[in-house]
Structures are given as C-alpha cells and as structure tokens.
Structure 1
Amino acid sequence: MLGIDIVEISRIENIYNKFSDKFLKKILNNIEIEILKKKNYNINSMAAMFACKEAVAKANETGIGDISFKDIKIFYKGQSPYAKLFDQVYKLSISHDGGFAIAVAIKIKTPSHKFKRDQNTHKGSYGRVAIFAGSKGMTGAAYLSTTAALRMGAGLVYNYVSEDIFDIMSIKYIEAIVKSYEDLDYEFLEKIDAVAIGMGLAKSDLAKDLTEKILKLDKNIVIDADGLNILAENLDLLKDRKEFSTILTPHPAEFQRLTGLSISEIEANKEEICRNFAKENKVILLLKGNKTLVTDSKKTYINKTGNAGMATAGSGDVLSGIIAALLARGLDPYNAACVGAYIHGKAGDFASKKVGEEYMLARDIIKSFSSVTANIYYDTLKKDGIGYFKN
C-alpha cells in the first residue's frame, strides 16, 4: 500500500513560529524531537516529518483522526528513513521541491518472526513499561507482572509501588526499576510506551486516586485485578480515553462486577455480551478462562492454548505483564491482547509438561516463555477476524 503527501514548507514554518514546542509535541515523540534537535530544528526536516506521518496515515487507509500523529514513529536504519505504525513498517522517501516537502510511504512486509532482535538496537528500542501494582501483603502480584514484562523483552520496566513496600520491592528486583507513588513524575511518564495497572493494587483511596490519574494518560493501558474493581465503581473513567487504547483483562467474577450481570448470564451469551461491552466502552476486552476471549467489538479471537494448571495465584498478573511488554514493543492493543493470551497459554502448556498441572506456579509460566518465543510466528488476522497463530 502506497501513501503520498505534499506539504507547503512555509505553512509548517508559520505554525511552528506561532506554537513552537506545543506544535512539535503534538506531532512528534521524544525520539523524533531529538532527531530534529540534532538538525538544529531545520524547517525543511520538520515539514518532511509532518509529510511522512500524513503519508503513512494515507498508506494505512485511515488518515489522521482514526490514528494520531504520535502513533506513527519515524526512525532510521543507517541513512534510510522508515516509519512504524503499531506492528506495521513503512519505507519512506523524502524530497523537497519548489517550497514543498514531499513524502512517499510504502508499506513493507513485516517479518513474521516477532522475537528476533536486530543487532543494531539498544534497550530503548524494545519499549518502556510502567507497572502500577502491589500493596502490603500483595508484593507477589507486582513481582510477577513486572518480571513477566521483562522476560517478554521490554527494554525497561518500572514498577511503581506505595511507600510501605518500596524497600521490599527494591530488594526483590535486580533488573526492574522501583519507583514510589510519592515520586510520580508525569513528565517522565510521557516517555513510557505502555502502562499496566491494578495487579495487587488494593482499593485504598490512594489506589483509586492513582487509577483515575493514570487513566488520563495518553498511553496504551492494561487494567487488571483491583484496577478493574475500581473501574467497576465508575465506568465513566473510560469516557475520555482514546478509543480502543485500553485493554481490560477480567476473570468472570470481575466481569460480573463490570457488567452487573450474573456469571450464568454471561456464560449463556458470552461472545455477544463481550462484544457489546467492548463497543459501548471503546475498549479491548480480554475475558480470562478456559478458551480466553478477546474482542474489540468487531473482531473476536478465542484462544485455545492453556490448561487447568494455570488456575493458580499470580497467573493473571503474568498475563498483564506479557501484554504490557507487547504493547511497548509496538503491537497494537488488539493484537497485543490476542498474542499475549496465546503466549501465556502456550507457556502454561510447556510448564505443565515440566512440572505437571497439579504443581504449577505462576513463576513456572514465566520460566517457559523462551520455549514459546524461540519458535513462535504469527500471521495477520484471518478474514473472518479470528486470530491465527502457528509455531
């Protein structure tokens, strides 16, 4: 698919002169601003970046609106410019002629193997995850979700915790970075690629206030456990969220609280109820259980991996960490939820072969990630909207 955009350089110059940093922050991420800074904020380069993003949006057949400028990330391999929109890559061609910046974006096939690293990368290339989890007596939830995000390949993972467990988590981790709610810096959170919240969070006034503030971030967010219980008391918290940028991962009892329906009512008409809920609240819904269901209201994926040994404390925390890492690594929310459910279940299947269903712990699922991702490939969704995976 091809997209072309032409922009008058003087128009971009006038906008920049009028709005300066506000304009740049609206269309560029921090890495792109650094690229522009190295070019001394050259107006031709600025116009070219703007045109590139418009061209990618056209190649995606959506235009800016359904997606945002910041969803499109420009990067370079050597001297060659590329763009990434969720999990799709575009080759860019840029030129200037007669006071205009001209950009052409060509969609190129994304390698099907998602877990092989380019050698010319660094930790920032694999995304930054912020996990708001844990409370006194529930440090395991924070540990499992954070460790799962690291094991799923996120470059940097920050676990935000309350002050009363800060020292405990600082001792438990080696690779993860621990931060306290008291030091919450929203400017720093702008650099984060994905957020997960709720695992072992409790329902204190602090947790409720934190959840409300985090939901105001313009980030892809996974909400689980106590985050869902807080949300069940006020679904209006989702109203101002960017559509389908929020992934909810309830088990049946949590979904009962979210919908007000009984579990038997949900089970009797599960797919329709889930689709309607996702549509009404503009979220990706992942309903956990035997044959986990994922839907964005239009597409639905029924996961077939996993086993009864995964019905153990902390298993859901692991899933949240997996999905957060996949979001940070560039998958769009629907695909991140589908692929996350598949990997989670498949890792559980490997774990059951190693230790047996009766003896499985959530940490055994994490230990089995490498058995899955060493061989996993996934294709695009089938025409009927059901996820298709093979390994």
Structure 2
Amino acid sequence: MNMPLSLLTALRFMTARRSSKMVSFISASSTIGITVGLVAIILVLSAMNGFENALKEKLLGVIPDAEIVTLQRPMTNWQGFQQQLSGIEGIEGVAPFIQFSAMIVRGETLRAVQLRGIDSASQAQVSSYQSYLAPSVTETLQNGELILGAGLATALNVAVGDSVNVLIASNQGSLKAPKSYPFRVISIFKFGGQIDSISGFIGLTQAQAIKANGDSVDGLELKVTDIFSANRVAYKAASQLPVYVYVTDWMRTHGHVYQDIQMVRGVVYIVMALIIAVACFNIVSTLVMTVQDKRSEIAILLTMGSSAASIIATFIWQGALSGLLGVVSGVTLGSLLALYLNDIISAFEALTGRHLLSADIYFIDHIPTVLKVEDVLLVATVAWLMAILSTLYPAWRASKIEPAQELGGH
C-alpha cells in the first residue's frame, strides 16, 4: 500500500539537510526531552508502585488490618466473639491479643518494650510475623518464652537462648515496685524499621496470668480480604457484637505511609505533564523554524496542487514522528532501567559504600520497583498526544503561505 504524500513529504523534511544548525539542534533536543522525561516518569512511578506493593505485602503482613477492643476492658467471652466474627463476609481471620508496656533488663541495660500476648495458631491466620522469625517458631509459646525484636536484641546484646528479666508495673499509679518476670529468648523478630526496636511477643496464657484477668483478653485482631475496606468491615463486625467496642484500622496507625505514596504519585503526574509540555514546546519551535526554512518548498507544493489540508497533515506527521521517536526511546530505556533498578542501585551502594535506605529506619532496605503496563501506556499516550497537539499551530501557519509572495521574487 502506498504511503500518503503528506507522510512522504514529512519524512523528506525530517531527513533533508537543514540550512540552520539551530533547527537541527532544537529538533534533536525535543526528542531527547521527551525521552528523558518519560524515563524519569516511568522510574518514579515504578518506585511508587514498588513501595505501595511493599506496604501491602510486608508492612500490612505484620500490623493488624483492624482491631476491636472493648471499652470496658478486659474482653470476656472472646472465644464466642472470635467464632462470631470469623463467619462475617470479608473477614479472613480473627486472633485474640493482650498488649501492655514493660521494661526489659539485661545486665545493666534497660529498654522499653511493647509486649503482645498472642495465641500462635490464631495469630498465624491474621499475620505473617512467623516469616520474620529466626529461628522459626510455629508451636504455642510456653510460659517463660519470649520472641524479641531484632532492634531490642541488639541494644540489649541478647541472642537466642539468653535470659532476660521483664519488669511490669504492679498497678497503674501505684508506688509499689514493678514485678519481675524471667524470660528466655527463643527467637528474634527481624522485620525492619522501628517495629524491631519496640516489639516483643509472649504466650497468651502467660499474658493473661500477668494481667490477672482470668481467661479474658484486651481485644481481637482482624485480617480482612480487602485492606482498603478494613474500616468498613471492622465497623460492620463490631456492630454485631453485644458489647460496646473501640475500632481501629491500619489507615489510622500507618495510613500516612500510603497517603504519602499517593501524594507523590499525584505530584509525579503533574511533573509528567510539565516535563512533556516543555519538550513539546521544542517541537513547536522546531516546526515553526522548519516552516520558515521550507517556505519556498511549501509554496511549490501548493503551486503543484497540494491542498492546505495536505500541508497541515505533512507537519502533523513530522511532529508525530518526532514525538513517537522520543516516546519509543523513552519507554524502552525507562522500562529497562525500572526492571534493573535494584541491580543498578546495589552496584552504586557497593561502589560508594552508602545505603540509600537503612533497614534500621525503614521497613525495607532497598528501593522496590513494580513496572505496570498501564502506567507505561498512560504516560506514552499522553506524551504522544501532546506532541501531536503541539504541531497544530505550526501546521496551520504552513498552510497559510501564499505561493505568489514566496515565489514572486525568485
């Protein structure tokens, strides 16, 4: 099939040697600008997708999706509540817990800790905390057994098998000396970030004995099917209980992480539009200068019978092809860099001896990337459409050239 005359003419204009080096430079810079812009946008969006994915799969794997706590503690008949909530649509698991603050003593070192009494079998249904234990612990925690966060273990210089003392206040507001309980560390919990520096797990039975509340618990932890509906599902579940309860979910405790990711994503889209717009202004400049450079050729085409629409199509083709070249190169390079970003960053860290993300501060020690086809298609489509739109004014200017005025003086 023969190519349209306007396309052939556009290719001729693009490949022909220009009389002005400035036109060639601006033409190349417009293509390079689109390429660099798309590379940057694809890399940042892939990183945002990676952080969001890490938030869903890792952070939300160890923190509760939602919690239900009775207003009048402790929660009695929690076994019945657990069974009742397990049958509600949208809830995948329910686990009891007891939580209290304490101090851990090892020699002369003293550290604060948030102790959580758990039932190992139920906890495995709502949390993936066992994936971060070394060595692995799948059996029920016995009296005197403690799982300690890696940050606390390092601060206390404690290893698996060592013994520590846990100090717990006798009564809130009481002047009595705190009670001391001996524990043996049977595993280290290494997740990353501040969680490791404040967390400890003991058996639910011993936590009940320490609180002296019989068989009661502080509340129930929920695992939901859709994390973004955790609040709605938790409130629906709480409304079916015969007692007044307090409901909280991950959006209240760690929602700022997700909101920050979404805010950065929105900023990226704005920056994307600005970067591509700047590159497309170069296309406008290129075509305007090309029109000036090719006025006599355009006049000859009009004299030979080319219509104004054909001239407009010629310059639209030229801008579209220039934009397409930038889009294809930008998408290709950006996708390759996104796929191998971790390897590139690892090489950079090894070369400089510096880590971009510290596992002691963040819950991950690398920059995760997830390349999504829909993101690539979106930015590529927007960039190409903006490139095409930027051709309309120069193309219209070219169609208004008067052959008699251009060729009359030749």
TM-score normalized by the length of structure 1 = 0.22
Higher helix share: 2
Higher relative contact order (CA 8 A, sep 6+): 2
TM-score normalized by the length of structure 2 = 0.21
- Larger of the two Rg values belongs to structure: 2
